[in-house]
Chain A
Amino acid sequence: MPLQSLDIERRSATTTPPPSQRQTVEVAKLIDISKCIGCKACQSACMEWNDLRDSIGTNTGTYDNPRDLTENSWTVMKFFEVEPDGKLEWLIRKDGCMHCADPGCLKACPSPGAIVQYANGIVDFHEENCIGCGYCITGCPFNVPRISKKDGKAYKCTLCSDRVSVGLEPACIKTCPTGALVFGTKDDMIDHAEERIADLKERGYQQAGLYDPPGVDGTHVMYVLQHADKPELYGLPKDPHISPWVSVWKRVTKPLALASLGLAGLVAFFHYVKVGPNEVDEGEEDEKEHV
C-alpha cells in the first residue's frame, strides 16, 4: 500500500512522533447486519480490487467460504444460525479488520513502520517492512492478521486505504447491493447507525445497537447489530481490548528492562572504579603451599 507519510498518526516500533501535521477527518465503515443478504459481493470485490485469489477450499457444511480469513481473503462472510429469543435467526456478519483506534497489532509490532495508523483512522500494514514475526496476531483482539505461507508477511484488510486516499469508498462498499455497507466520516456513520437502530427497535429488536467497542477506543469498522447485548451471537467479542499480557509486555516492562540492563552495566563499571579488581597480591603469589 502507498506510504502516505503526511497522514500518519501512529507508526509501529517508533517512539518519536511520526509526521502528523496534516489533519483529516476520521472515516468509518458501517456494516448493517440487518440489511445483509450474504451475497458475498463484498468478498469478490475485495479480491478483485486487491488482486487476491484464494485457493479453492473445502466445504465444511456451511455457507462460509472460505471458512475463515486468510492472507488472500481479507474479508469473509460468516453465517450464524442462532435462536436468541426462541426463534431461529440467520445472522450474517462480514468479518475483517476492525481498524481499532487503539490497535493491538501496531502496539505489538517490533518492526518500525510495518504497521501505521493514518490520521483518518485506517490501520494499514506495510508488508515491505514486515519481518514476519507474527506479533501483530498476538496483539489483535479480533484474530484478524494472517501470515502468508508464500512470503511470510502479515496481511489483512486495508480498508482500501489506496482508494480512500484519493476520495473513493472501499471496494466492498462500492459493490454492496443492499446498502448494508456504508462508508463516510465516523460521525456521519454513527448518526446513520442511530437512525437504523431506531428503525430496528420499532420493528421489535429492542436490543438493537451499535458495535463500536470502547475497550479499543472504538473502531473504524462498526456494526449495527439486532442483538447488541449479545455480540457473541455474531462471533464478536463482548468487550474486546488488547490482552493485558501484550500491553504489560509492551508498555511498562520493556523500557524498564532496558534501563535496568544499562544500570547493571553502570553499577559494574563503578564497582570497578571504587573497589577495584580482585587480584592475587605478590605476597600471596610467593606464599609457600599450605596444603
Chain B
Amino acid sequence: MRKRDVIRRYDDAERINHWIVAITFILLALSGLALFHPSMFFLTNLFGGGTWTRILHPFIGLVMFIAFLALALRVWRANLLDKNDEQWLKQIRDVAANREDKLPEVGKYNAGQKVLFWVQAVCLILLLLTGIVIWQPYFTPAFNITVIRIAVVLHAFSAFILILGIIIHIYAGIWVKGSIRAMTRGWVTRAWARKHHPAWYREVARGEGMRER
C-alpha cells in the first residue's frame, strides 16, 4: 500500500486505550457470565475458581470504567447525534443490506457507532454504581437490603445490554472490512474512508490540502 493511499484514523493513544477497554471487557464478560447463570459457572476456572472470580471481577471493572472514561473524553464530541444520523437510523435496512450509497453522508462515526457509544456509556455508569453497591465485602454492608436487591438486578441487566451491544460492535468490525485494521494499525485506505465515512474523509482531505498550501 502506497503511503499516499492511506490516512490515519486512530492515533496510538486511542488504539491502546480502546484495546485496554476491550481486554477488560472480555475478562469482565467471562467472569460476569460465570456468576450470571449456572451453565456458565465453568468460566470461573479461567480466573482460579469461584472465589477468585468474585474477588477479581470488581477490580477489573474499575480498570474498564476508568479506561472507558478516558476514551469517552476523547471521542464524545464526535459522537453527538445530528439530523443525518436520524435519517441513517431510519434506513437501517439499507445499512444491513450493504446499500451505503443510499445513506446520508457519514462523518467520523456513523449513527450506529454513536448510539452504541452512548448506550455503552450509560451502561458503564450503571454498572459502576450498582457494582459498588454489591461489592463484597467492602461496600455492600453499608447499603439497605432493597437497594442491594435492585442493584443486583440492574447490574445484570446493564451488563446484558452492554454485552449485546459489544456483540453487534464486534460483528460490525468483522463485517465492514478494513475496520479491524483501523483499530489495530491505526490507518485506513482513502477508498475505505470515502466509502464508509465520506464527510470525515472530505474533512481530512481538506486539512491535508491546507497543509500543502
Chain A residues in the interface with B (C-beta under 8 A): 13-15, 110-112, 129-135, 137-138, 143, 147, 149, 152, 243, 245-246, 248-249, 253-255, 257-258, 260-261, 264-265, 268, 271-272, 275-280, 284-285, 287, 289, 291
Contacts and interface: CB of A to CB of B under 8 A. Distances in A.
B38 A291 contact: no
B213 to A, nearest CB: 14
Q: For the complex, would chain B's binding face be called helix, strand, loop or mixed by DSSP majority?
A: helix
Interface residues on chain B, size class: 35 or more
A277 B175 CA distance: 5
A258 B37 contact: yes
Contacts of A280: 177-178, 189, 191-192, 195
A254 B145 CA distance: 21
A278 B100 contact: yes
A260 B164 contact: yes
Contact of A133 (B49, B136, B171, B178): B136
Interface in B41-60: 41, 44, 49-51, 53-54
Contact of A275 (B96, B152, B157, B209): B96
Contact of A147 (B53, B136, B190, B202): B136
B185 interface: no
Given A112-B41, A138-B145, A147-B136, A245 B205 contact: no
B163 A277 contact: no
Nearest to B49: A131
Nearest to A277: B177
A284 B195 contact: yes
B174 interface: yes
B168 A152 contact: no
Given A149-B137, A249-B153, A132 B160 contact: no
6 contacts: A132-B136, A133-B136, A137-B145, A245-B150, A258-B37, A285-B189
B154 to A, nearest CB: 9
A278 B35 contact: no
Contacts of A291: 202, 205-206, 209
A245 B96 contact: no
A129 B50 contact: yes
B60 to A, nearest CB: 15
A109 to B, nearest CB: 10
* Chain B CB within 10 Å, residue with most, of A132, A133, A137, A138: A133
B8 interface: no
Contacts of B157: 253
Nearest to A262: B167
B39 A15 contact: yes
Contacts of A135: 152
Interface string B189-208: 11110111000001001100
